Amino acid sequence: MTDKRKVRKAVFPVAGLGTRFLPATKAVPKEMLTVVDKPVIQYVVDEALEAGIEHLIFVTGRSKAVIEDYFDIQVELDQTLRERNKKAEIELLEAILPKAGTTSFTRQQAPLGLGHAVWCARDLVGDEPFALLLPDMIMKGEKGCLKGMVELYEQSGGNVIAVEECAPNQAHKYGIVGVGDKIGEGFKITKMVEKPAPGTAPSNFFINGRYILQPEIFPILERQERGAGNEIQLTDGMVKLSGAQPFAAYHFRGDTYDCGAKDGFILANVAFALERGDIRPSVEEPLKALLQSLK
């Protein structure tokens, strides 16, 4: 029988060192860099909450303590805002504060790969399906990517991975899936390969960093050997699990920005700023002028 238990928990692997974004990430975690006026991680958490997630599990690492602080009350700030009667700011902070007891933090002690980071969350997830959101990727669409995945999951059960199309010459950078029969807003996955050698990818559909996985992935990750880049790869674990359980792909049709890279981060700032009624009027014309002035 295909497992369709409710997806209540989400895992955020936030232990990465952010080497693609130095020097900014020397002392500030990449997940705390701001897109417009919110840290990147807030966008990803908001996507999870929109999809009905009730508990947030962060797999952090040394030097990431500020992420835990961000999801707590900042007592001095709170007191000062109250003394000064700053109602809007107080409401803003209250709206993003997770309810007490709905966050958990554990540490990945060594950077052994995404598969290993996910495995570190096994006790906190327990024996139930969970969502996994890679915090580098933030998404903009009419419907949140994870919300669409949960809808597909309610139809398909099993495991669901979000995919998007990439240029064929970019496929070697990602996990790539093979395309089977249509199901809902996606298709059945026939194959998965992590970072295929150029010219060998089974399709142009890449895994964009959102997953709904069954807990049977954990014992597989526990005994797993190193894969691409000499890391314990999640994709290799999913390939093994796909021998026993179905995997469906959800075709996300919005825009995705890789905020772990400088270009993606800059584009995200521009795109999200232009979406904001309070910011667009003052940045749109200068941005157009700037682009027109380019030779």
Binding mask 59-98 for ligand G1P (x = CB under 6 A): ----------------------------------------
Helix axes 40-50, 145-156, angle to 10 degrees: 30
Residue type, 50: E
232-256: b or e for each residue (b if 16 or more CB lie within 10 Å)? bbbbbbbbebbeebbbbbbbbeeeb
Of these, 29, 148, 157, 175, which contacts ligand G1P (CB under 6 A)? 175
C-alpha–C-alpha distance, residues 125 and 99, integer Å: 18
Token pair belonging to 218: 């954990």
Closer residue to ligand G1P in complex, CB, 51/133: 133
Long-range contacts of 25-30 (CB under 8 A, 24+ apart): 27/63, 28/66, 29/63, 29/64, 29/66, 29/67, 30/136, 30/259, 30/260
Site for ligand G1P in 219-258 (CB under 6 A): 234-235
Cβ-based nearer residue to ligand G1P, 81 or 138: 138
Structure tokens given for 129: 């399906």
CB 252 within 8 A of CB 210: yes
Q: Under the criterion CB under 6 A, does residue 119 sit at the interface with ligand G1P?
A: no
Residues in binding contact with ligand G1P, number by CB under 6 A: 12
Which one among 120, 207, 213, 259 touches ligand G1P, defined by CB under 6 A? 207
* Contacts within 8 Å (CB) and 24+ apart, 78-81: none
User: Cα(62)–Cα(107) distance, rounded to whole angstroms?
Assistant: 8
* Residue 17 backbone phi and psi in degrees, to 5: -80, -15
Near ligand G1P by CB under 6 A: residue from 21, 130, 205, 206? 206
Residue whose tokens read 């007191």? 79
Report how many helices (DSSP H) and strands (DSSP E) the chain contains, helices first.
11, 13
Q: Which stretch binds ligand G1P (CB under 6 A): 56-64, 122-130, 181-189, 202-210?
A: 202-210
**137 versus 149: smaller Cβ distance to ligand G1P:** 137
Nearer to ligand G1P, 81 or 234 (CB): 234
Q: How far is the CB of 150 from ligand G1P (least distance, A)?
A: 19
Which residue, 10 or 81, has its beta carbon nearer to ligand G1P?
10
Nearer to ligand G1P, 45 or 114 (CB): 114
CB closer to ligand G1P, 81 vs 220: 220
Q: Which two tokens stand for residue 13?
A: 């692997």
Is 273:257 a contact under the CB 8 Å cutoff? Answer: no
Environment class of 181 (CB within 10 Å of its CB; exposed 0-12, middle 13-18, buried 19+): exposed
CB of 190 to ligand G1P, least distance (A): 16
134 binds ligand G1P (CB under 6 A): yes
137 binding ligand G1P? (CB under 6 A): yes
Q: Which residue is nearest to ligand G1P (CB)?
A: 175
Q: Which is nearer to ligand G1P, 98 or 264 (by Cβ)?
A: 264
Contact residues for ligand G1P (CB under 6 A)? 114, 134, 137, 174-175, 194, 206-209, 234-235
